[in-house]
Structure 1
């Protein structure tokens, strides 16, 4: 059964749909597009710590900053960590943005087809069919160890806390 809860976009109410995930839960599997024809699932990152950065749209200021920040950190975390950015943007837009921004360490994944990631992770914005800004840290055994789902879409996540949660698993 799908749960609904409130959040805001510039102070205006929006509705988040899906389960409320917490540390200790098993990370739901997903199938997301890397490009139009190639997909990736949680299992593709098996045995690695996963920092999953979720953004509504890569073409907005906070989403841009969030993705650039985690791209910088990815090079310091090493090969044991997969840094993923999930959004409902089309894979074409994600690829264009990465090229323009010089972002090459983050794996961009698109939830555009059916918002299945957003529904499974409880971050679907009902009114917009976008993924709510959030961070999930998942250990090498696919257990969630850190969750931050923002209550206001335009705010930045707690970068330092997310990075510390990843480092605790290394």
Structure 2
């Protein structure tokens, strides 16, 4: 049992580091109040495939890192990742082969993307209404365009893309390191 906990702690630490480094080195697309970094959620999705504990640890670790290194609105968005990551990790724990099924895997991917987006929209909305981190032009675009479309729909697309990348990486990792799929606690 202790070996399993140490192994999970090490994996969580490595994934936290990856989750903090990826936004520094990957290309960004900035549209209005949103920035999308390819692969920014991959570490979180990989953690979900390992266990709920690892998913929670990676979300908390990356969020703390973002509170130190990024504007408040980005760190607050990162804090919402705990919700979709835990839901996803618990579903995957219950149905470990769900991502092997095209229909169920796509369904879970889209559902997690919607949950991910809902969390970020709820966090960004107060920033919009207070005017924090939004330019006058973005405020003039209105709540629907700036928050619902850019943050909400943008996050769904970003999440689905990052989850798809993660599934491909996870399949590679499972075949390369077969013992990793045994971690489910």
Same fold (TM over 0.5): no
What's the TM-score once normalised by structure 2's chain length? 0.28
- Bigger Rg, which one: 2
Determine which structure has the larger strand proportion and give its number.
Answer: 1
Determine which structure has the larger helix proportion and give its number.
Answer: 2
Higher relative contact order (CA 8 A, sep 6+): 1
What's the TM-score once normalised by structure 1's chain length? 0.30
